Chain A
Amino acid sequence: MKTLSRIYNVIIFGLLYFPIIMVIVFSFNSARYTPMEWKDFSLQWYEKLFQNEEILNALSVTLQVALISTLAATVIGTLAAIGIHAMNRKLRRVMLTINNFPMVNPEVVSGVAFMLLFVALAAVLPVFKPGFFTLCIAHVTFCTPYVVLQIMPKLRQTDGRLYEAALDLGCTPLQAFFKVTIPEILPGILTGALMAFTMSLDDFAISYFTAGSSAQTLSVTIYSMVKRPVTPEIYALSTLLFGTVFVLLLLANIGQVRDISRRSKRARR
């Protein structure tokens, strides 16, 4: 039985990670074309990658969009979470369902919807012509629900009397918010921001429909590159992307684990 479960685990994790490992391995291969066969270890694809204007451009767009949308989504999400938390139970449930919907909605549908919206708006307001700005708006929109979802549990754990205690000790409502509420939910805000950043880096479908030709993200660029013969440059790029997202998720998880152990320590007293 034990062996069986081990084999099962190996198969599952193999299926999950083998393709990615292949990509990583072959990004260091000196041979150019498929069928894949290992020749020598080489960093030439990484060198080429960093000389590729198109990719560097896309990378810079991706990072800018990710930073801007993370910042905006974190602020909006934090305020939204606090507002939702203050609602009565029924309304809160409705709001959370509305919040969760974009996360389960097929991304292609969201992407098409955004495109339609922006095209319609652009007819009246030229800023909404697909490009960097629309890309940012779309990213803020789909990142915000993740932030809300990370902060809600922190708010539930926080003692409501803390805010009142701050008021009692002379804080204005705004001071109490920054001095007490924010520090209390900070771990949630940080994980929320990390999630938003990862989601923004990760996104393809919505970016594809909202980016236009002027501002392309990495994932959209890779997609267009794949139409031509695939070069190991793409493996190198994929490896870097995977590494970045992996590290970010790891950070988010470590943060959560730390927070949980701190909470349980506090609860034991």
Chain B
Amino acid sequence: MKDVITLKDIAVSFDGETILDGLDLSIHDGEFVTLLGPSGCGKTTTLRIIGGFITPDRGDVFFGDQRVNNVPPHKRQVNTIFQRYALFPHLNVYENVAFGMRVQKKKKAEIAETVEKMLALVNLKGFEKRAVSTLSGGQQQRVAIARALANNPKVLLLDEPLAALDLKLRKDMQVELKNIQKSLGITFVYVTHDQEEALSMSDTVVVMDGGRIQQIGTPTDIYNEPQNAFVADFIGESNILDGVMREDYKVEFFGKEFRCVDFGFEKDEPVDVVVRPEDIDIVEPEKGDLIGRVTNITFKGVHYEIIVDVKGFKWMIQTTDFHAVDSVIGIMIDPQEIQVMKKSEYSGLYGDYSSFSEEFDGLADPEAENGAAQ
């Protein structure tokens, strides 16, 4: 596939603080790419570099084969949807959408036709004469989308476009954005800190932290085969254990050897082992590979979330069966549910649920975090 945007060895720092550190990224034509990471990871900076609002200290930006480092924003064939929409308050909905075309001195009839088409696309027919200040957040978001798309961009950049919307609306807009992207065939570069949003919308997810790319892959790759402890922890819930790779397809942890599907490690190489909470089977204690004691159970609706103490390490397991606190259970793990990762700077930082308690759970809930951030 053709690359529309290529970033090569990009580095940026502000006031001596490194924001991006040797970033390489290729974005294919027609792809929905999401830059995912915690705040301060450099995802918005990456987007602003593509938009032309930041010139990197080092490295090159290519649109196709053309180096565009010094091309100002207004000459780039990309359009941005800004975090707080940045609609022009002195213009009505029609004029906001028509803004880009008026700058390009398009014919009146053409402008009218495109505005109508765009407003239909985002379900805002009949809102032409409304002042943007009278619109709800979701409607303003739609105007911002229509305004950006009216310029017929090759690539649309979206900077946390749904962050200011409430949960229900956000879910609807996710579907709608995805549909728009599919029907227009435009490349989307989407920035978010919401992992669920990233997994459900993207063709490719780029996980970032500390100004560097941690992993690039499809949503299933990222979820099922995280490459380091950061990715494993940031995307979904993970039990991350210290292990040793005894030989190909054999990994040891908790003093016990497990069969796995990973290979290509050194003999006896120390590794991080990831097991997802929903991939663990609970059996009779005597039949389990490991034995543990339940220390906490939380009802989550579709399943229970239980914390199990195995030789001092707290596992999180999701199960549809109730297990009383202090009951002793056996744990069984299928070989394909074990993901072995190389040791990284993130090893040992994540993946143990020792600090887990019910009141803590409220804080770790992404919804609650979003609410607090706004």
Residues of A within 8 A of B (CB): 159, 161-162, 164-173, 175-176, 179-180, 183-184, 186, 262, 265-266, 269
- Minimum distance in angstroms from B138 CB to a CB of chain A: 12
| B151 close to chain A: CB less than 8 A | yes
A42 to B126, CA, bound (A): 61
Tell me if B104 and A170 are in contact (CB < 8 A): yes
**Stretch of B17-25, B83-91, B114-122, B224-232 lying at the A interface:** B83-91
Query: How many residues on B have C-beta within 8 angstroms of the other chain's C-beta atoms?
Result: 28
Tell me if A184 and B84 are in contact (CB < 8 A): no
Contact of A269 among B74, B100, B135, B151 (CB under 8 A): B135
Given A170-B100, A170-B103, A170-B151, verify A164-B73 contact (CB < 8 Å): yes
Tell me if B136 and A269 are in contact (CB < 8 A): yes
Tell me if A161 and B133 are in contact (CB < 8 A): no
Q: Which of B349-372 contact A (CB under 8 A)?
A: none
CB-CB under 8 A from A262, the residues of chain B are 133
Q: Which of B176-207 contact A (CB under 8 A)?
A: none
Is the contact region of chain A dominated by helix, strand, or loop, or is it mixed?
helix
| B99 close to chain A: CB less than 8 A | yes
- Minimum distance in angstroms from A269 CB to a CB of chain B: 6
Tell me if B51 and A183 are in contact (CB < 8 A): no
Q: Which residue of B lies closest to A172 (CB)?
A: B74
The interface centre, meaning the residue of A168, A173, A175 with most chain B CB atoms within 10 A of its CB, is: A168
CB-CB under 8 A from B239, the residues of chain A are none
Q: Which residue of A lies closest to B79 (CB)?
A: A168
| B66 close to chain A: CB less than 8 A | no
Interface code B133-145, partner A: CB below 8 Å = 1, 0 otherwise?
1111000000000
Tell me if B79 and A169 are in contact (CB < 8 A): yes
A169 to B84, CA, bound (A): 16
Tell me if A169 and B133 are in contact (CB < 8 A): no
CB-CB under 8 A from B53, the residues of chain A are 164, 167
CB-CB under 8 A from A184, the residues of chain B are 89-90
- Minimum distance in angstroms from B61 CB to a CB of chain A: 16
Q: Which residue of B lies closest to A183 (CB)?
A: B90
CB-CB under 8 A from A161, the residues of chain B are 82-84, 86
Tell me if A162 and B86 are in contact (CB < 8 A): yes
A16 to B99, CA, bound (A): 51
| B72 close to chain A: CB less than 8 A | yes
A161 to B89, CA, bound (A): 12
A172 to B103, CA, bound (A): 9
Interface code B32-72, partner A: CB below 8 Å = 1, 0 otherwise?
00000000000000000001110000000000000000001
Tell me if B88 and A168 are in contact (CB < 8 A): no
Tell me if A269 and B134 are in contact (CB < 8 A): yes
